[in-house]
Structure 1
Amino acid sequence: MDEAQNFSNVTYSINDILESLEALGPHMQIFLITLYSLTALMALGGNATVIVVLLLGKRSSRELRTFLINLAVSDVCMALFSIPFTYTDFMLGRWIFHPIFCPFVQFMQHVSVVASVYTLTAIGLDRYYAIMYPLSLRWTKSRGPVIMTVIWGSAVGLSSFQFIHGKAEKFTVRGHEFYDCTEVWEELDGKVTTLFFFIITFILPMLVLTFTYSSIGWKMWRHTSPGNADASRDHQQLMAKIKVVKMMATVVILFAVCWLPIHVFNLLIYFDRLSIMPVTDAQFQHFTAAFFSCHWISMANSFVNPIIYCFMSDNFRTDLKQLVLCCCCTHKSHRTAGRLKNHSDHSSFRTTTLVMSSCSVKNASNSIPLRSLHVDMYNK
């Protein structure tokens, strides 16, 4: 009886400790788990769809295919190694995974961020040369695989410090040991590193994207078709220009909106800690809300990218529809062949052939000629 009572007291004590470590109550934890789980699923589903369509489709721009696949891969890494882990550590107040996993997770987070940001930058440069210098040989087209290798090599090199400074530090509460996954820096080193990453992962890419897309938008706005004026044609081209300029503006604005808040939050932590660190319970609630808002917006960028760069493309949507249609037709042909398996071989072959032929006819009716992205921009 005494042993059961002691066990009950120990269990109650541990539960009290765990509850005291947690930053949020049960209802908010359920909300955050649901929100981040949906974000990860959307990022994985959207980017996996992008990879499949770009690999199997025929109409998406061949010039950008390498860059878009690379962007999708980096966003998949972010969905796998950044979204599920960073919010749980803050939400629960402790690292619930194996301590050895901590530096690897932080390493992959930095790798995915650097690779994603600089793939976006490479796409901006590629579009700049395609529009501004359409007749010249573009280095992004001829050396795409080399550029991707440099991006991933740089991402790995810049992120390798996490294996040294990323640690699962042990702490004790009422005799019970827990871990906290964090970066261990001297004060000055932490400030320099935070400022350095802010410059190379936000300021520089933002300057490049703003310059390239502003130049593209300005040139397209001033572009006029040769020949005599035609009201209908000129109106269609004006609408096409407005559509492309809006897309370019969306790219730059969403990049800034998604990444600026978390960078500002990190800078305040290192450079103005007293103004942001909570003292009262009310301040702690505001601090927690600010952190999760900034963090989730940055993670949301992983499913925003495929929407902007792929699903807004007419060619990509056509490829997606035709792949889905072919899958449906193939499934229908197998079902038809199964129902007619007792017929003669000639009858089964003819039925399957007719089904596949109808699929081909449907696909042909929706086909459009393969065009590069810079041509699409002028002929939407």
Structure 2
Amino acid sequence: MGAHVIVTDANISSSLESNTTGVTAFSMPSWQLALWATAYLALVLVAVTGNATVIWIILAHQRMRTVTNYFIVNLALADLCMATFNAPFNFVYASHNIWYFGRAFCYFQNLFPIVAMFVSIYSMTAIAADRYVAIVHPFQPRLSALGTRAVIAGIWLLALALAFPQCFYSTITMDRGATKCVVVWPEDNGRKTLLLYHLTVIVLIYVLPLVVMLLTYSVIGLKLWRREVPKHQMHGAGLRHLRAKRKFVKTMVLVVVTFAICWLPYHFYFILGSFQEDIYYHKFIQQVYLALFWLAMSSTMYNPIIYCCLNHRFRSGFRLAFRCCPWVTPIKEDKLELTHTPSLSMRANRCHTKETFFMAGDTAPSATNGQARGPQH
């Protein structure tokens, strides 16, 4: 993972590569390289633009600053950094099998991808936990603003700790005149150490959080879809509130499923390579890796699209952010959607509605003094 030698030239004649020309046995034809470069460039542009816009929508509008949305900011920041600092540089490395970016960036490339993946998926897990508390246990205290920042900081620190071993053993080597950025594990049981580390990383940044979110959203789904709104509120705020919760859960489930699908083939590639190392000796594996890596990196660009399509407030934010584009036409309600603060009478009515829900067995969350309010999606 990270800056990884996709293919190895050990069994290929050295006459096929030249350090002076920067060409290796795995260099692609110009037309093929241009197609891959276009695909990766489009991915980076969409991911950076979309995630930067999501961060702006939340941080620039007071109404959007909720516990859940702060975790969405953390997720968007990780995806933005992954698209900026990992996708283009790893693509260049994979397309030539030569490392051009120096020793310091080699360390960074073997550290940051694991960090970003950890932050992304555990931000999703934190969102699932926050929604679980709000919907299944509405009377329990919610995370405060300070608590939210502490959780986010903890996620980043744990991510750095998990990625540190791969960064520590990173080094620059020369392979028949070509510069490589590789991870050289200790010689004693080096292959077993590599396999154990890869399996540990995959379990911690893929399998475990996905299982937790599967269970969490299953409980949330059962709670929401079994809930009944009192008859006198079937056409009022109660029904709208319930529908908004259901829609938000659907949105986050789609985000999680998209992440899982995009990263599964990439993780399988590394597991297979740990048991069948000879697959790296085939030239075709370069095309396989580029396709799998593109699919994995594409997970960074889908979330903003999902938010825009399924959430009316994010959709309003995107219209405002891109109002200079001739094909985007904001409507007058967009700014109110993000900035309007409910009046005192509306707040009182909302509190009354929630109290009625609780009396009827509903579990809508209520805000308490000194605590960050949950999202009003």
TM value normalised by structure 1? 0.74
Structure 1 match to 2:356: none
CA shift, 1:246, in A, is 3.9
> Where in structure 1 are there 5+ consecutive unaligned residues?
1-11, 329-358
> Where in structure 2 are there 5+ consecutive unaligned residues?
1-15, 326-330, 351-363, 367-373
2:291 is aligned, of 290, 293, 300, to 293
For the structure 1 residues 248 and 323, does the alpha-carbon distance in structure 2 shift closer, same or farther, using more than 3 Å as the test? closer
Match runs of 1:280-359 below 5 Å: 284-285=283-284, 287-309=285-307, 312-322=310-320
Q: Flag the structure with more relative contact order, 1 or 2, with Cα contacts below 8 A and sequence separation at least 6.
A: 2
Residue type at the aligned position of 1:117: I
Does the 8 A contact of 1:217 with 1:248 survive in 2? Answer: no
CA shift, 1:190, in A, is 0.4
For residues 103 and 229 of structure 1, what CA distance do their matches in structure 2 show?
59
Question: Secondary structure of the equivalent of 1:160?
Answer: helix
CA shift, 1:223, in A, is 1.0
For residues 338 and 97 of structure 2, what CA distance do their matches in structure 1 show?
54
Residue type at the aligned position of 2:88: P
Match runs of 1:150-229 below 5 Å: 150-172=154-176, 177-185=177-185, 186-227=190-231
Count of equivalent residues: 328
For residues 341 and 114 of structure 2, what CA distance do their matches in structure 1 show?
40
Structure 2 match to 1:118: 122
Write the deviation string for residues 247-284 of structure 1: whole angstroms up to 9, x where unpaired: 3441232121011111110000112334x4455xxxx3
Which piece of structure 1 moves more, 104-113 or 192-201? 104-113
Write the deviation string for residues 88-124 of structure 1: whole angstroms up to 9, x where unpaired: 1121021122233211222122221211121111111
For residues 51 and 82 of structure 2, what CA distance do their matches in structure 1 show?
11
Which piece of structure 1 moves more, 101-110 or 238-247? 238-247
Write the deviation string for residues 163-218 of structure 1: whole angstroms up to 9, x where unpaired: 3211221122xxxx321112222111101001000100001111111111222222
For the structure 1 residues 320 and 33, does the alpha-carbon distance in structure 2 shift closer, same or farther, using more than 3 Å as the test? closer
For residues 362 and 101 of structure 1, what CA distance do their matches in structure 2 show?
42
Does the 8 A contact of 1:59 with 1:315 survive in 2? Answer: no
Match runs of 1:1-380 below 5 Å: 14=18, 18-60=22-64, 62-139=66-143, 143-172=147-176, 177-185=177-185, 186-227=190-231, 243-244=247-248, 246-274=250-278, 276-279=279-282, 284-285=283-284, 287-309=285-307, 312-322=310-320, 363-364=335-336
Q: Percent identity?
A: 29
For the structure 1 residues 133 and 242, does the alpha-carbon distance in structure 2 shift closer, same or farther, using more than 3 Å as the test? closer
Does the 8 A contact of 1:60 with 1:319 survive in 2? Answer: no
Indicate the RMSD between aligned Cα atoms, in angstroms.
3.7
Write the deviation string for residues 350-373 of structure 1: whole angstroms up to 9, x where unpaired: xxxxxxxxx999945997656999
Structure holding more helix per residue: 1
For residues 195 and 250 of structure 1, what CA distance do their matches in structure 2 show?
26
Residue type at the aligned position of 2:167: F
Question: Secondary structure of the equivalent of 2:180?
Answer: strand
Question: Secondary structure of the equivalent of 2:158?
Answer: helix
For residues 257 and 333 of structure 2, what CA distance do their matches in structure 1 show?
42
Does the 8 A contact of 1:210 with 1:252 survive in 2? Answer: no
TM value normalised by structure 2? 0.75
Question: Secondary structure of the equivalent of 1:59?
Answer: helix
For residues 365 and 302 of structure 2, what CA distance do their matches in structure 1 show?
22
For residues 144 and 291 of structure 2, what CA distance do their matches in structure 1 show?
36
For the structure 1 residues 104 and 137, does the alpha-carbon distance in structure 2 shift closer, same or farther, using more than 3 Å as the test? same
For residues 19 and 253 of structure 2, what CA distance do their matches in structure 1 show?
50
Which piece of structure 1 moves more, 113-122 or 308-317? 308-317
Write the deviation string for residues 125-161 of structure 1: whole angstroms up to 9, x where unpaired: 1111111112221247661000011011111121122
For the structure 1 residues 148 and 57, does the alpha-carbon distance in structure 2 shift closer, same or farther, using more than 3 Å as the test? same
For the structure 1 residues 79 and 270, does the alpha-carbon distance in structure 2 shift closer, same or farther, using more than 3 Å as the test? same
CA shift, 1:60, in A, is 2.2
